[in-house]
Structure 1
Amino acid sequence: MWSLFQRKTQLLIIVTASILAAWGLEAVWFWYFGEQTTPLKWISFVISIVGVVMVAVAELLWFRLARIMPLMQTKMFPDLNGEWVGHLKSTWINPETGTTLPPIPTSLKISQTFFTTSVTLKTGESFSKSTRVFLEPDYENRRYRVWYSYNNDPQAQFWHRSSQHEGVAYLDLDWDADRNRLTGTYYTARKTSGDIDVRRSQ
């Protein structure tokens, strides 16, 4: 979520919170000790405190509040935390038979905090883990996309026909159509691709 703010907005939030906190500490100090001081004396200390507090509050409260007030999700980014199950459909065509593979049962897990998002995907033969994630909201149409790059590690018994590789994928959520369905496409370094269709199970 934090990455969706522009840099100047992030800086403005941190600076504003630090100044307000410094003024607050100055007032408390004067009230308790009766000594006049200046906000500048507190700035370095306050910046550290504000950073810790902001992280703690955002991590602990953001999604709890967003689940109660869905408007927060549409204005920032939906809560995608959880297990998603469905299938992959590869576009690869067997050169010997001219046929495609049947849908591959798939489970996908998204772990999302205010500051980070990670995606893991499992099939019967391999495990993929995201290396980078980028959130792309389309607020006007209330559609939200997760782009991610990943590393795929097949089980050793399948290495003879499925090597380790890297890839890129995206997952789309249409807020108005179905908040518990993700569809998308993946592309691999092996020059293959396919479609993803999963639904949130928990």
Structure 2
Amino acid sequence: MQRVIPKWLWTMSLFAFGLVLLSSTKILEPLGIKVPALRLASSAASVAILALSAFFASHARYSPWRIVWRTAPALNRWLFPDLNGVWVGTARSNWAAIERLRSAASENTAMNLEDLFELELKPSPIVIQIKCTVFGIRIVSYQSNTDSKSCAMSTGIERDERSDSYDLTYTYRQENPTRAITDSEDHIGAAVLQFEYADLTTAKGNYWTKRCWQDGRNTAGNIELKKISDNSDLSMSELSQYLVA
């Protein structure tokens, strides 16, 4: 994960690694075993990397690190969060305002801009599946209003100590198989989701898209999510069942 693991942990890990390396050299010397420091460091580093990879590499529900994190939930705050699972909720867009503006433009009629602030955001059920380890994050989402699928292209997560939360930011590409004739086949977007330390089963945030930007129809809105499953290995058909209109 990017910018999540505290600096003090990296510092302590490097310090501990140095102590182990120094101790190993001192232990081997009385035994008459001479191992070049560089070779010893290389071997120790290789063992450490393999151990960390075996412990953290998998996002599966019963992977070693996820079992430990469920046993000691405080690690979600001290080290990094386990966000793996299925999240369902609602994405609300500014589409109503866009339609009102287009209607006024096409009919060449005057419109009070203050009326736009009174329009309700258009809701759409959404389901998101997150797969994460200490080495990376993958995100896919589905929405029922356009039967669309989105896949994250880049992800990042960092701490926000001011609000006691994690901020998950990502860019994504969305495909619209059942789009309207005036809609784009696919588009790029970005989102920011906030997960509070006190409750990592809910999330909220905002999103923006490049959808039909040439004629001013690029949408934006907010997202509210609730975690309903720790399983992050569901198929597309299984995920779509969580979409309730």
TM-score for the superposition, normalised by structure 2: 0.67
The percentage of aligned residue pairs carrying the same residue is: 23
Alignment CA distance shift 1:55-1:129 (3 Å) = same
Quote the residue 2:219 is aligned against.
192
Of the structure 1 ranges 6-15 and 133-142, higher mean CA displacement relative to structure 2 is found in: 6-15
Do the aligned partners of 2:86 and 2:130 also contact (CA within 8 Å) in 1? yes
Do the aligned partners of 1:151 and 1:166 also contact (CA within 8 Å) in 2? yes
How many angstroms apart in 1 are the aligned matches of 2:161 and 2:3? Answer: 16
Q: CA deviation at 1:186?
A: 0.5
- The 3-state SS of whatever aligns with 2:76 is helix
Asked whether 1:4 is paired with 2:4, we answer yes
Which residues in structure 2 correspond to 1:18-167 (within 5 Å)? 20=20, 23-24=23-24, 27=27, 35-59=33-57, 60-93=63-96, 94=99, 95-96=102-103, 102-124=122-144, 125-155=147-177, 157-158=178-179, 160-163=181-184, 164-167=186-189
**Higher RCO (CA 8 Å, separation ≥ 6 residues):** 2
- The 3-state SS of whatever aligns with 1:201 is strand
* Superimposed CA distance per residue, residues 112-171 of structure 1 (whole angstroms, 9 cap, x where no aligned partner): 11121122110122111111111121235322211111111111x316243211111011
Q: CA deviation at 1:27?
A: 4.5
Matched AA of 2:210: A
How many angstroms apart in 1 are the aligned matches of 2:148 and 2:183? Answer: 9
Quote the residue 1:169 is aligned against.
191
What is the aligned residue count? Answer: 198
Matched AA of 2:48: V
TM-score for the superposition, normalised by structure 1: 0.80
How many angstroms apart in 2 are the aligned matches of 1:143 and 1:86? Answer: 19
Runs of 4+ in 1 over 6 A off after TM superposition: 6-9, 97-101
Q: CA deviation at 1:180?
A: 1.4
Q: CA deviation at 1:100?
A: 6.2
Do the aligned partners of 1:18 and 1:47 also contact (CA within 8 Å) in 2? no
Q: Extract unaligned runs of 5+ from structure 1.
A: none
Matched AA of 2:86: E
How many angstroms apart in 2 are the aligned matches of 1:103 and 1:151? Answer: 20
How many angstroms apart in 1 are the aligned matches of 2:45 and 2:83? Answer: 31
Do the aligned partners of 1:79 and 1:112 also contact (CA within 8 Å) in 2? yes
Q: Extract unaligned runs of 5+ from structure 2.
A: 58-62, 105-115, 212-217, 230-245
* Superimposed CA distance per residue, residues 24-77 of structure 1 (whole angstroms, 9 cap, x where no aligned partner): 48847986xx53334333222332222222222233433322222122112233
Q: CA deviation at 1:4?
A: 2.2
